[in-house]
Amino acid sequence: MLRPLPMKHVRLLVLTEDLPQASLTLAETESFHADTRPPTEDRLSGVPGRDYRELFQQARSRLEKIGKLVPLEAEPELREVRVVPEPELARINDWLGKVWNECSRYEEQFRALDDEERLVREQEAALANFADLNIDLGLLRSKTRFLDFYIGIVPRENLRQLEGAVGLASHILHIYMVRGEHAHVVIAGPAGTREAQLGSVLTAAGFQNLPIPPELNRQPEVIREELARRRAGIETERVALHKRLAEWSGSFTGRLHEAQQVLLLAEPFVTLDPSIRSAGYLASLSGWVPARAVAELETRLRQSLAHPFAAESRNPLPEERPLVPTVPVRNRLLQPFALLVKQYGIPQYGEVDPTPLFAVTFLLMFGTMFGDVGQGAVIAGLAWYFREKLGRLYLFGVLAGASSILFGFLFGSIFGYEHVLPALWMSPLHDPILMLKLALVWGVLFLAIACSLAIYNRAAIGNWSGAVFGHHGLINLIFYLALVWGGVRLGTSGEFGTWPALLVVGSLAALAVHGWRHLEAPVGEKVLVVFIETLETVIGYVSNTLSFLRVAAFSLNHVALAIAIFTLAGMMDTFGHILTIVLGNVFMIVLEGGIVMIQVLRLEFYEGFARYFSGDGHEFAPLRLRRAEKPRVADSG
């Protein structure tokens, strides 16, 4: 389960005319991750399928745009899997072009209605503003022989520049209202030859005219009603337009869904396109395939291709390791933990997948630090209740809650009550020293496992020097275990012991010599760097081990917090008592639960992953048909 699924590099040589079928078959197997490196052979330099790709992209773009107006199926069911020939794709594209052309007209009508409505709203605002003015607004309705003026709205951003420009045309600009991003302005000046110049400036400034109705001065109520009627009319028109659109689109819904299916079937070839190279009638494509799926892949190709093909498979070369994709964990229980691991990185091919170890250690630590049957049940219950909203993460909450329940039984704690349930083991507060000792033992075990994995990961890719002398390598592990051995002896018999001391000094000396030999600097700087690095190794391991004391500290803290809540509750009457217990438990679940979660993640990421997990791999993303179906590649074992 910890080892990655073995992968093979597969190279296919097929006839160019078989490419669409080959792509479809590869997509059906869902086991082919394209390798986009160009082939080493110079003659394989052609890029087939360019026209097909362009047709596909235009058709998909049209379909997406149509989908904004006409409802489409989210994930259409593929009735049959077949090759989509280029002429068929071209036909679909043409038809979609016609449909979109018509849709575009509807979209334009909707836009015009929106624009009109916005203008009516601005007019209403202007009307409200003019209502209190005691002047004859009728005079402003039309230009006079001597006076030229404009009333309208302009984007605020353009105001200052427009003010200068109208000034040059001997006009003045007055802002009488600002609404959102627009300002309502009056521009006035002498009538004459400069009107035409001003017109182009106003256009460039995005000025929109707001006509003043003739009745404004005498009957503002009439105008208000008229504007309200216009808005209602716009709404009616919009509803009618939606109806017309629905009726029109209803006549070709079936064909639209067919087009959707055709594009889904054409997609694999287009997706593979960047990794296909050809020379005349011969095309080459290569990719990464799980070793166990290679035989099936070849069989399926043999069944589906009309002409002969050549398939070569080999193990990944050492230098190709960073290019090989890693198949993600598919175990349902581990899925939510894999999501958290993914936040740190994807395991490089060959590297141990930390997800199972992460899941086990996370649950153990969370349970220890937050052991309570009642609170654990609440966490698990809430995660279950909100499972649809939480998606795959709900299982994470359920398992964390279950772990909390398990440790709650061990500690005999339910909603903070320590004497209701008999403890299967003991309450942490009964023997804090033992809890601290156990946390230290856990820390030593955790760090030793982390170092062992670091050694394995490096050895697996042939980095023997790194496995022995590198950070958290074999020498580090020997030093650490010797230090622990000596520490235990010092604590029990009062002396560090000769062997542990020799191992500590010897391993540190080995690290120092290795560091010295690999450092290129003046002697003084070398001494300083080697000394500091050696000291850092000692301090690092000691502090990292002590870091695990928080596991015990939080389990003690949990009980102490419960005691504090009960003490407070004890000072209240019955209602206050119940309320304090309830609110106290909510407080513990939300705040302490959150803090414990962060602390555990910190231990996992910083003390664990930072030691052995590079996380610089990339995920296996096989070519597949986009349909709601379970993938064929089985779990990583």
Partner 1 sequence: MSSAASQAYLNTRVSVMATRLFGPGVIAELAQQDLAQLAERFVLPSVLDEAVSVRARSRAVEQALIQTLLAELAILARPMAAGERALVLNWGRKYALFNLKTLIRGKLYDLDQKEIRENLYDLPPRVRVPDQELFRAENVLELLRQLERGPYSLIARQAREIFEQRREPFALEATIDQRYYAGLVRQVMQFHDDNLRPLQELVGALLDRVDLLWLLRFRFAYQLSPSETFYQLVPSFRLLHRERLLKLVNLESFERVLEALPPPLDRMMAGSTNLIEVQRRIGRHTCEEANRILRHSRSGVARALAYLILREIDLMALFSLIQGQLLGLPNDLVAIAIEVADASCPIGTLTAKAA
Looking at 6, 67, 155, 497, which residue binds partner 1 (CB under 8 A)?
155
Judged by CB under 8 A, which stretch of 135-143, 152-160, 342-350, 376-384 contacts partner 1?
A: 152-160
Report the residue number, 69 or 504, with the smaller CB distance to partner 1.
69
Q: Does 218 bind partner 1 (CB under 8 A)?
A: no
Report the residue number, 273 or 353, with the smaller CB distance to partner 1.
273
Judged by CB under 8 A, which stretch of 8-16, 151-159, 460-468, 531-539 contacts partner 1?
A: 151-159
The two tokens of residue 32 are 């082919």
Looking at 11, 53, 194, 514, which residue binds partner 1 (CB under 8 A)?
194
Report the residue number, 179 or 321, with the smaller CB distance to partner 1.
179
**Which residue type sits at 140?**
L
Q: Does 111 bind partner 1 (CB under 8 A)?
A: yes
Q: Does 109 bind partner 1 (CB under 8 A)?
A: no
Closest CA relative to residue 427, chosen from 337, 311, 552, 312: 552
CB 22 within 8 Å of CB 301 = yes
Looking at 101, 219, 253, 315, which residue binds partner 1 (CB under 8 A)?
101
Looking at 36, 45, 129, 161, which residue binds partner 1 (CB under 8 A)?
161
Q: Does 206 bind partner 1 (CB under 8 A)?
A: yes
Looking at 19, 151, 162, 398, which residue binds partner 1 (CB under 8 A)?
162
Looking at 1, 51, 75, 164, which residue binds partner 1 (CB under 8 A)?
164
Vertex 501 angle, CA 439 and 551, to 5°: 10
Looking at 133, 147, 168, 586, which residue binds partner 1 (CB under 8 A)?
168
d(CA 411, CA 418): 8
Closest CA relative to residue 382, chosen from 409, 368, 401: 401
Q: Give the sign of the dihedral formed by CA 373, CA 376, CA 378, CA 381.
A: negative
Query: Minimum CB separation from partner 1 for residue 196, in Å?
Result: 8
**DSSP single-letter state for residue 319:** G
Q: Does 208 bind partner 1 (CB under 8 A)?
A: yes
Q: Does 192 bind partner 1 (CB under 8 A)?
A: no
The two tokens of residue 615 are 């996380």
Query: Minimum CB separation from partner 1 for residue 151, in Å?
Result: 17
Q: Does 157 bind partner 1 (CB under 8 A)?
A: yes
Centre a 10 Å sphere on the Cβ of residue 466 and count the other Cβ atoms it contains: 18
Provide the mask over 523-562, with x wherever binding to partner 1 is found by CB under 8 A and - wherever it is not. ----------------------------------------
Q: Does 97 bind partner 1 (CB under 8 A)?
A: yes
Q: Does 61 bind partner 1 (CB under 8 A)?
A: yes
Q: Does 66 bind partner 1 (CB under 8 A)?
A: no
Report the residue number, 167 or 462, with the smaller CB distance to partner 1.
167
Residue keyed to tokens 């929109």:
208
Q: Does 200 bind partner 1 (CB under 8 A)?
A: yes
d(CA 259, CA 273): 21
Residues 6 or more apart whose CB falls under 8 angstroms from that of 405 comprise 372, 373, 376, 377, 380
Q: Does 107 bind partner 1 (CB under 8 A)?
A: yes
The two tokens of residue 468 are 């022995």
Cα within 13 Å of Cα(570), Cβ side: 7
d(CA 196, CA 432): 90
DSSP-derived 3-state class of residue 346: strand
Query: Minimum CB separation from partner 1 for residue 200, in Å?
Result: 6
Secondary structure string (H, E, C) spanning 399-447: HHHHHHHHHHHHHCCECCECCCCCCCCCCHHHCHHHHHHHHHHHHHHHH
Q: Does 104 bind partner 1 (CB under 8 A)?
A: yes
Q: Does 508 bind partner 1 (CB under 8 A)?
A: no
Looking at 41, 108, 619, 635, which residue binds partner 1 (CB under 8 A)?
108
d(CA 367, CA 370): 5
Report the residue number, 159 or 382, with the smaller CB distance to partner 1.
159
Judged by CB under 8 A, which stretch of 163-171, 315-323, 345-353, 385-393 contacts partner 1?
A: 163-171
Report the residue number, 167 or 576, with the smaller CB distance to partner 1.
167
Q: Does 89 bind partner 1 (CB under 8 A)?
A: no
Report the residue number, 162 or 444, with the smaller CB distance to partner 1.
162
Judged by CB under 8 A, which stretch of 20-28, 59-67, 75-83, 523-531 contacts partner 1?
A: 59-67
d(CA 504, CA 481): 9
Report the residue number, 279 or 311, with the smaller CB distance to partner 1.
279
The two tokens of residue 626 are 């986009």
Looking at 198, 439, 450, 633, which residue binds partner 1 (CB under 8 A)?
198
Vertex 69 angle, CA 63 and 74, to 5°: 60
Judged by CB under 8 A, which stretch of 150-158, 260-268, 303-311, 629-637 contacts partner 1?
A: 150-158
Give the burial string for 115-144 (b: 16+ CB within 10 Å, else e): eebebbebbbbbbeebeeeeeebeebeeee
Report the residue number, 194 or 224, with the smaller CB distance to partner 1.
194
Give helix then strand counts, H and E, for the chain: 22, 9
**Torsion angle in degrees (nearest 10) through CA of 128, 134, 136, 142:** -40
Looking at 15, 22, 92, 205, which residue binds partner 1 (CB under 8 A)?
205
Q: Does 204 bind partner 1 (CB under 8 A)?
A: yes
The residues facing 417 across adjacent strands are 414
Vertex 546 angle, CA 541 and 551, to 5°: 130
Looking at 14, 92, 165, 400, which residue binds partner 1 (CB under 8 A)?
165
d(CA 413, CA 423): 7
**Helix extents (H) in 251-354:** 253-272, 294-304, 335-344
DSSP-derived 3-state class of residue 10: strand
Looking at 120, 201, 272, 369, which residue binds partner 1 (CB under 8 A)?
201
How many chain residues are in contact with partner 1, going by CB under 8 A? 31
d(CA 466, CA 469): 5
Looking at 134, 203, 251, 543, which residue binds partner 1 (CB under 8 A)?
203
Binding site for partner 1 (CB under 8 A): 61-62, 65, 97, 100-101, 104, 107-108, 111, 155, 157-158, 161-162, 164-169, 194, 197-198, 200-201, 203-206, 208
